[in-house]
Amino acid sequence: MTSTERIQDLLNRIYGPEKGRQVHDRLMPLIEGFDKKPGRNASRFVQGEMVLITYGDTLRHPGEKPLATFHRFARRFLKDAVSSVHFLPFFPYSSDDGFSVKDFFRIDETLGDWNDVARIGEDFKLMFDFVINHFSAESQWFQNYLEDRPGFEHFAIEVDPAEDLSAVTRPRSLPLLTPFTKRDGRRVHLWTTFSADQIDFNYASLDVLEKMVQALLFYVEKGATILRLDAIAYLWKTVGTTCIHLPQTHDMVRLFRQILDIAAPEVMLITETNVPHEENISYFGSGRDEAQMVYNFTLPPLLLYTFVKQDATILTRWARGLNLPSPETVFFNFTASHDGIGVRPLEGILPAEEIDLLVKAVTANGGQVSCKDNPDGSQSPYELNITYMDAILADERSDKTDKFLASQALQYSLPGVPATYIHSLLGSRNWHTGVRKTGRARSINREKLNLERVLEELDDPASFRSRVFFPYLQMIGTWRRQPAFHPQAAFEVLDAGAGLFAIRRTGGGQTIHAVTNVSARPVTLDIERLRITRSGRDLVSGNRIDSATLVLAPYRFAWLEAP
């Protein structure tokens, strides 16, 4: 089957033969007419691939556009550590810190413009957010829908509020339907999964699909090498179902993958699905037809639980299953992001009472808990809102960095592509002022920083930021040089006892045993039992291994390289 035949087959499955042919005739000129970029690096996964996650305006400097401010900072500090930059939505928006997009084709002028993005793209690979599920109630597209302008009549999903929607999976404790009045005076209730300002696209409309394919290809043209499919799990809605992970949603991911395989085969898709592990990895598809990467959503809460309990037993058991369906896929490993720490990915891994323990630990450390509505009318934790720094540390006043850096080193030792949120790299703490200002719990990890103040703190070796930032960069620098830490290098998770997480990575002629003490007590590593070569050395400390055991101090990690 040819590529165009595969696209036609997918469209027929989603829309039926008649509409499938119609939309095929509309999409193929866009795809075939796309200006392919010759000479682009088509290598998917390379040694040292690391992604920095940031908002376009996390760093600010008076009189300078934030994208230019970030680029200046990144060129000075990050070029030897970061390979790709993931910019969270930098488009004009009306709410949710960018995720309620008003214009999918422009840069928010308060941040900069596409020229700023292009300049950053000269130094780093770029990852863009493709906010695929919804659009802003203040957008021109929505006004066009309200006015029934041609091509926009069916952009939103109108639902009779009398319909039984109790089966719908809810990620928020907000109304699913929001009333609006159209220009002709007709009152409609529209599907709004995330908020009243975020109108869900109606992908049953061919006009919606065509617009979003245009946006997809536009982002590739503007330099994106990775596209993040935001909230993809909720894309297709069918009343009477859960409206999550529906077959049409998976076919849509396959469709976008097939389009890119034709127009820009070097560009990868990554799915953002804050759900239990098996549901999450379903977006790999066969390993060759859906996303090349999925967010490893179970890692952040399970890693946190490991440090709270000071016991790596469950993490060790879970990590043994991090196998991939094909060489065309990898996990996207992260601990912190602009969102909170998802709780649903722990379903089936931890019992309810252990999840409650995690909730209590987070609230004790100054965090908050966001809940979701359940079909039976109850609520349950959905997300823990806290910086990963404060989640990991024993209490909010702690100024020790070892425990946090150990958690990050453990993340980097796992198979896959690691990603670090800029606030983790900078050692940011809970931003309670932001929560009070916005009234949103998620603001706790979205502080806007004055660049000069940040630089002053980095110049002070005694400051908390400096004691996190430079050791973190040093750790990344060491990690990047090791072939055994290639995203797809072989791995074996070892049983080193409850207090230790140990993994053997092998690749490029190198073997590394990465061992992390997740406890507040010294733990002895039995080198001989784990078949670790005694004549090797620790890449972290530089020390040689010259005995049958190795004592790791509390919250210390070692990367033991065989000779």
Binding residues for substrate: 96, 134, 228-230, 338-339, 442
Helix intervals (H) in 34-187: 66-77, 114-121, 140-146
**Token pair of 222, please?**
């503007």
Residues in a beta bridge with 502: 494, 515
Determine whether 233 is exposed, middle or buried from the number of CB atoms within 10 Å of its CB (0-12, 13-18, 19+): buried
230 is catalytic: yes
Residues sharing a CB contact under 8 Å with residue 430, sequence separation 6 or more, in sequence order: 365, 366, 367, 386, 387, 390, 396, 444, 445
Residue 193 · residue 80 · CB < 8 Å: no
- Residue 359's nearest CA partner among 393, 384, 341 is 384
d(CA 244, CA 508): 40
Q: Which helix (H) or strand (E) holds 25?
A: helix 17-32
- The binding site comprises 96, 134, 228-230, 338-339, 442
**Token pair of 321, please?**
């299953």
Give residue 7's Cα distance to chain centre. Answer: 27
Q: What are the CA-CA distances from residue 67 to residues 86, 87, 107, 455, 519 (Å)?
A: 12, 10, 10, 17, 40
Q: Which of 116, 129, 197, 230 is catalytic?
A: 230
- Residue 302's nearest CA partner among 292, 290, 287, 317 is 317
Q: What are the CA-CA distances from residue 236 to residues 134, 193, 246, 422 (Å)?
A: 11, 11, 7, 32
Helix intervals (H) in 78-172: 114-121, 140-146
Largest Cα–Cα distance of the chain, in whole Å?
Answer: 82
Q: Which residues are catalytic?
A: 230
